[in-house]
């Protein structure tokens, strides 16, 4: 029996990808995809390394060739551009893969911040890796990390959600699913939906600490330290520009009575996407139980159904 099968059997692992590979980013001088973060406001955050890397590339693939073109021209860089946006990412990716296989160096950018973070890029990056072509990330500005750090909420464990659904009913459903997460929660939002979203956050999460990080790195940068209920009193006309909403995670609760706990577990068990172990861990953390205790309860409830 192979070593990997032996480990899988011992650990009762049924299905894994047995195709480990180690890709050294700079070992060969052939094609490479650089994923380059661009400023989220203040242009001085466009790092020297980002400029140097882009200057060394054969092409720049960008979400909006005009936006990136303007940024590059401010730094005296001119490069052939490839358009790679939400609506053509698949086709553009095929073209980019061909160029990379041909030994070309390509920089991927989005309009601001990191490509692939609430911006196009994820599909291309995945495909490049699948094609055994190295990917290297050129670090820089990130709206959600800056927002989190300045939020005064816990940074030890956090969950990044990105944009919530534009439709209120779907948005509430999304919030309902993550309501019990104990870690700090981070959302992106646009100014025209901010009040609706704050309303839904309060309705679903109840009372918690909340911070709005607005216009980061720009002249009107502002942090609003408030709570979910108090945020509803904000004047929407003062909430212009770009925003990150950071919300305190679900606080640990006192033990609930057994009947309510069983009802909660029964309803959560309907969600087949969450494993029993993960559910046990989550509920145990929230209600101050031991994970094993909850896990045993889950198994019994599952057998009854």
Residues that bind ligand SAM (CB under 6 A): 40-41, 110, 112-114, 117-119, 142-144, 188-190, 213-218, 242-244
Q: Tell me whether residue 71 or residue 244 sits nearer to ligand SAM (CB atom).
A: 244
Q: Tell me whether residue 32 or residue 194 sits nearer to ligand SAM (CB atom).
A: 194
The pairing of beta strand 32-36 with beta strand 135-138: parallel
Give the shortest CB-239-to-ligand SAM separation in angstroms.
Answer: 11
Give the shortest CB-43-to-ligand SAM separation in angstroms.
Answer: 12
Give the shortest CB-279-to-ligand SAM separation in angstroms.
Answer: 30
Give the shortest CB-125-to-ligand SAM separation in angstroms.
Answer: 13
Alpha-carbon distances, residue 248 vs 228, 263, 302 (angstroms): 9, 25, 32
Residues 53-56: contacts with CB under 8 Å, at least 24 apart: 53/107, 53/138, 54/79, 54/107, 54/109, 55/79, 56/105
Q: Tell me whether residue 34 or residue 144 sits nearer to ligand SAM (CB atom).
A: 144
Q: Tell me whether residue 69 or residue 191 sits nearer to ligand SAM (CB atom).
A: 191
Give the shortest CB-141-to-ligand SAM separation in angstroms.
Answer: 7
Q: Which has the closest alpha carbon to 45: 190, 142, 188?
A: 142
The whole-angstrom separation of Cα 203 and Cα 129 is 42
- For residues 95 and 114, is the Cβ–Cβ distance under 8 A? no
The whole-angstrom separation of Cα 166 and Cα 164 is 6
Q: Tell me whether residue 89 or residue 242 sits nearer to ligand SAM (CB atom).
A: 242
């Amino acid at each position: 029996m192979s070593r990997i099968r032996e480990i899988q059997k011992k650990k009762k692992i049924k299905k894994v990808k047995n195709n480990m590979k180690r890709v050294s980013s700079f070992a060969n001088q052939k094609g490479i995809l650089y994923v380059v973060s661009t400023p989220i406001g203040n242009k001085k955050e466009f790092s020297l390394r980002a400029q140097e890397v882009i200057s060394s590339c054969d092409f720049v693939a960008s979400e909006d060739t005009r936006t990136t073109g303007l940024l590059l021209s401010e730094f005296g860089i001119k490069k052939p551009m490839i358009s790679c946006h939400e609506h053509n990412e698949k086709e553009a990716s095929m073209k980019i893969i061909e160029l990379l296989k041909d030994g070309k160096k390509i920089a991927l950018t989005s309009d601001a911040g990191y490509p692939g973070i609430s911006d196009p890029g994820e599909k291309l990056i995945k495909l490049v890796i699948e094609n055994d072509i190295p990917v290297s990330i050129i670090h820089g500005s990130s709206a959600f990390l800056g927002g989190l750090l300045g939020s005064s909420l816990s940074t030890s464990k956090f969950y990044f959600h990105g944009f919530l659904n534009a439709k209120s009913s779907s948005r509430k459903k999304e919030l309902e699913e993550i309501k019990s997460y104990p870690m700090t929660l981070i959302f992106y939002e646009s100014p025209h939906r901010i009040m609706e979203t704050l309303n839904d956050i309060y309705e679903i999460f109840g009372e918690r600490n909340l911070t709005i990080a607005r216009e980061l790195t720009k002249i009107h940068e502002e942090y609003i330290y408030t709570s979910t209920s108090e945020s509803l009193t904000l004047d929407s006309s003062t909430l212009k520009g770009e925003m990150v909403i950071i919300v305190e995670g679900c606080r640990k609760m006192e033990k609930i009575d057994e009947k309510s706990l069983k009802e909660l577990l029964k309803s959560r068990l309907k969600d087949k996407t969450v494993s029993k172990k993960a559910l046990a861990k989550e509920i145990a953390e929230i209600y101050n139980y031991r994970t094993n205790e909850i896990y045993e309860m889950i198994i019994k409830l599952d057998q009854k159904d």
